[in-house]
Amino acid sequence: MAIALGIFGVACTAFCVWLTVRIINRRKKPGVAFWVTVGLVGLVLYVLSMGPATWLVNQDWSPEWTVDAVELIYCPIFLTCRCLPQTFGEVLLRYNMLWY
């Protein structure tokens, strides 16, 4: 499993670097709509990635440092749940319960 995660991490990093270089080297620069879309997609993927992270923390084989890492990475979501109405927190809690 560790080898597969390492390979996936390297592949994802290589893809991100390739895409960044491709975007920077284009003659026609991307417009505002492109960057807004990238930002929104990134935000949605960040929130949706909390489910798999919850699953990873709850596994017997996962190391203990994953709990601290997940708490650190998803701290902005936890703080947002405290500030926004209770329905947002309930939706996030129900989504995380799917991954248990």
Q: Token match 């930002």: residue?
A: 39
- Position 14 scores a pLDDT of 92
Give the whole-angstrom CA distance, residue 19 versus residue 16. 5
> Same structural domain for residues 18 and 62?
no
Query: Rounded to a whole number, what is the distance in angstroms from the first to the last CA of the chain?
Result: 19
- Global pTM reads 0.66
Same domain, 43 and 60: yes
Report the run of H or E that residue 51 belongs to, with start and end: helix 50-57
What pLDDT score was predicted for residue 1?
Answer: 66
Report how many domains make up the chain. Answer: 2
Looking at the fold, whether 66 and 79 belong to one and the same domain comes out as: yes
Domain that holds residue 81: 32-100
pLDDT tens string, the chain, 100 residues long: the values are: 678 778 888 898 999 999 889 888 887 777 899 889 999 999 999 999 988 988 888 888 888 888 888 889 988 888 888 888 888 888 888 888 888 7
